[in-house]
Amino acid sequence: MENEIYDIIIIGGGAAGLTAALYSARAGKSVLLLENTSFGGQISYSPEVENYPGFKSISGLDFSDRLLSQAVAAGAKTAFETALSVKCGEKFKTVTTDSGEHKCRAVIIAAGLKHRKIGLENEDRFTGKGISYCAVCDGSLFKNKRVAVYGGGNTAIEEALFLSDICESVTLIHRRNELRADNAEIKKLESKENIIYKLDCTVVSLNGESSLTSVTVKNSKTQKTEELKISALFTAIGQIPQNEAFKNIVKLDEYGFIESGEDCKTQTDGIFAAGDCRTKELRQLTTAVSDGAVAATAACKYTDLKNI
Ligand code: NAP
């Protein structure tokens, strides 16, 4: 175990965690930012971010690289470690990782979420090249094109509604013949004229050379397969928050998100939650960076007030 006691440890190096690191370091705090795969998080997969204020267009990778440099230049220390647990002691908190233990005064959990993958060949290769997990982020790249949305929940229907206004057609592929989404959303979808339904269907292959050009779907009732020529598949088959390691220290809602308000405070003193990993209405780059700033400011105040 290392001897340094950090003011703030941030778990997760996506947009929320990086922003929290920037704000905490600029406030003069000693900061350790832990990331288990690569800095940038989900936004790194977005080839063009066109809805971040101040940038007409920027690649997600470029955006996260800039944010990482900014946080490091401000003094944040980074480490590639997976956080396994957080414990609250009388004075300090201990973050145990796959490499050891770190002590700190406050913790910001910004562990993000992962979109459930279909589990097919080419899925990773075509992500950002025809496979997307965010219509608001990438939809405009497929203006007037034929696209498909996979899933039958509220996210899928919202994605399909958004895309139906900008794309030639939207094929909704869902594994059952009944949508899981709320009735109000389904009604809105039914009022659209460019939605094609492929119900009782699963995607069985993702086809193309350098990018996605079609998907093959299989009808579970008829066992027939069909190739759908599309420019993009928006996958919305559920999201998996990365909060398992923290369920003993913060309260999770029924979907596994950390319960917290817009102040990013959790029910546990000195533990804050920022970005997609917490309960919230809108999961976007803008709201993630906003959370990072809010959580960092609250964590700085906490360490000052507690005089620890
Ligand atoms: P979700 O409700 O869990 O829906 C996931 C959909 O993907 C379901 O239709 C499911 O099919 C399908 N699916 C799951 N695994 C699959 C697989 N391996 N292959 C193919 N299909 C698969 O997820 P979500 O839509 O992301 O929503 C998550 C939560 O956030 C929900 O509670 C939702 O209501 C909420 N949400 C609310 C709003 C809103 O209120 N505005 C907006 C978005 C999300 P089955 O139906 O057959 O299980």
Assigned superfamily of 5-114+239-306: FAD/NAD(P)-binding domain (3.50.50.60)
The token duo for 81 is: 């470690």
- For position 306, what pLDDT does the model report? 72
User: Is 238 touching ligand 1 by the criterion CB < 6 Å?
Assistant: yes
CATH, domain 117-235, list 3.40.50.720, 3.30.930.10, 3.50.50.60, 2.40.40.20: 3.50.50.60
Tell me if 176 sits within 8 A of 152, measured CB to CB: yes
* Distance of alpha carbon 173 from alpha carbon 80, whole angstroms: 38
Helix axes 183-190, 154-164, angle to 10 degrees: 30
Q: Among the options 7, 65, 124, 134, which is catalytic?
A: 134
Question: Phi/psi of residue 126, each to 5°?
Answer: -95, 0
Tell me if 252 sits within 8 A of 124, measured CB to CB: no
Tell me if 229 sits within 8 A of 215, measured CB to CB: no
For the chain, the domains span: 5-114+239-306, 117-235
Question: Phi/psi of residue 196, each to 5°?
Answer: -110, 130
Measure 72 CA to ligand 1 centroid, in angstroms.
37
**Is 98 a known active-site residue?**
no
Q: pLDDT tens, 244-297?
A: 999 999 999 999 999 999 999 999 999 999 999 999 988 889 999 999 999 999
* Distance of alpha carbon 216 from alpha carbon 59, whole angstroms: 29
The average confidence (pLDDT) of the chain is 95
Q: pLDDT tens, 141-197?
A: 999 999 999 999 988 998 999 999 999 999 999 999 999 999 999 999 999 999 999
* Distance of alpha carbon 74 from alpha carbon 217, whole angstroms: 49
